[in-house]
């Protein structure tokens, strides 16, 4: 059953993540060490701020990969997962739409979209980009699952998650711009298509598939490490 408050919280949170994170990337570009650090911090600090806003309402997933990890770990039901993901994708589209409005006269702007091959700083090939996104998402989702396991971690969880997102961005920005979030990637790619640039939407499948694979692996290995109930009773 749809919980409207959670739906709206995930929509708003993802909108703000795209607005601030991709907005900084859109404004200052993707070239240079200090630029990459600034973008990484923009995404990480956004998570911390948004978690303070909506964490008590929806858990502040604002990422289909995180929601998938929660689903596999048994922390949410399938119906809830579906409307979380719908809200996140709609929020990503709305956030990118706001950025497109701001840049309405700059049709060459990529709105902070992700890419691989010739469209990136390093020219990483498709397989390399896929592997990078799987590993980065695996690490990020594993941290989210681990730090949110115990209620007493609530006061520090948003900072740990925000710093973890900053870390994966520092690694991934030169290669793919760092996605680890299908909703964050799809919104800017769709807006670029509407503005006449089809390259981001042609490549966005990778930034949907790879994070979901990484999230699934993270949840499965997390359960192997932390499972309290196992048929063989030897998992710990």
**pLDDT, position 236:** 43
Q: What is the separation, in whole angstroms, between the first and last Cα of the chain?
A: 35
Using CA atoms, how far apart are residues 7 and 163, in angstroms rounded to an integer? 25
Q: Does residue 233 fall inside a structural domain? A: no
Band of pLDDT at residue 105, cut at 50, 70 and 90:
confident
Q: Does residue 184 fall inside a structural domain? A: yes
Q: Token pair for residue 153?
A: 């971690």
Q: Does residue 232 fall inside a structural domain? A: no
Q: Does residue 235 fall inside a structural domain? A: no
Counting Cα atoms < 13 Å in the Cβ hemisphere of 30 gives 26
Q: Does residue 16 fall inside a structural domain? A: yes
**pLDDT, position 202:** 95
Q: Does residue 234 fall inside a structural domain? A: no
Q: Does residue 27 fall inside a structural domain? A: yes
pLDDT mean across residues, the chain: 92
Nearest residue to 89 (alpha-carbon basis) of 168, 152, 13 = 13
Percentage, residues of the chain above pLDDT 90:
81
Band of pLDDT at residue 232, cut at 50, 70 and 90:
very low
**pLDDT, position 121:** 67
In terms of pLDDT, which residue wins out, 152 or 199? Answer: 199
Q: pLDDT for 132-182, tens place per residue?
A: 999 999 999 999 999 999 888 888 999 999 999 999 999 999 999 999 999
Nearest residue to 210 (alpha-carbon basis) of 106, 146, 111, 139 = 139
Nearest residue to 30 (alpha-carbon basis) of 155, 222, 169, 126 = 169
Band of pLDDT at residue 97, cut at 50, 70 and 90:
very high
Q: What is the mean pLDDT of residues 6-24?
A: 97
Using CA atoms, how far apart are residues 81 and 71, in angstroms rounded to an integer? 7
Q: Please say if the pLDDT value at position 76 is more than 60.
A: yes
**pLDDT, position 230:** 46
Q: Please say if the pLDDT value at position 234 is more than 50.
A: no
**pLDDT, position 181:** 98
**pLDDT, position 152:** 81
Q: Please say if the pLDDT value at position 231 is more than 60.
A: no
φ, ψ dihedrals at 234, nearest 5°: -130, 20
Query: How many structural domains compose the chain?
Result: 1
Q: What is the mean pLDDT of residues 199-204?
A: 95
For residue 46, give the CATH number of its domain.
1.20.1080.10
User: Which domain covers residue 102, as residue numbers?
Assistant: 4-226
**pLDDT, position 235:** 47
Q: What is the mean pLDDT of residues 55-77?
A: 97
Q: Does residue 115 fall inside a structural domain? A: yes
Q: Please say if the pLDDT value at position 120 is more than 80.
A: no
């Amino acid at each position: 059953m749809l919980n409207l408050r959670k739906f709206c919280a995930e929509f708003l949170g993802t909108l703000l993540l795209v607005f601030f994170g991709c907005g900084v990337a859109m404004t200052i570009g993707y070239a240079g060490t200090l630029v990459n650090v600034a973008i990484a911090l923009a995404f990480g600090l956004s998570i911390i701020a948004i978690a303070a806003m909506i964490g008590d309402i929806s858990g502040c997933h604002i990422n289909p990969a995180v929601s998938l990890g929660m689903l596999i770990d048994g922390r949410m039901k399938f119906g809830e997962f579906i409307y979380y993901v719908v809200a996140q994708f709609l929020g990503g589209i709305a956030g990118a739409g706001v950025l497109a409005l701001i840049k309405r006269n700059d049709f060459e702007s990529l709105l902070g979209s992700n890419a691989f091959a010739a469209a990136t700083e390093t020219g990483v090939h498709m397989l390399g980009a896929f592997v990078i996104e799987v590993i980065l998402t695996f690490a990020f989702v594993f941290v989210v699952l681990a730090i949110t396991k115990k209620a007493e971690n609530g006061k520090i969880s948003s900072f740990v998650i925000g710093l973890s997102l900053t870390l994966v961005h520092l690694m991934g920005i030169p290669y793919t711009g760092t996605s680890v979030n299908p909703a964050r990637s799809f919104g800017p790619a769709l807006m670029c298509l509407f503005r006449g640039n089809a390259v981001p939407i042609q490549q966005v499948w990778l930034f949907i598939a790879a994070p979901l694979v990484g999230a699934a692996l993270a949840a499965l290995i997390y359960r192997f490490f932390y499972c309290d109930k196992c048929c063989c009773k030897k998992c710990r």
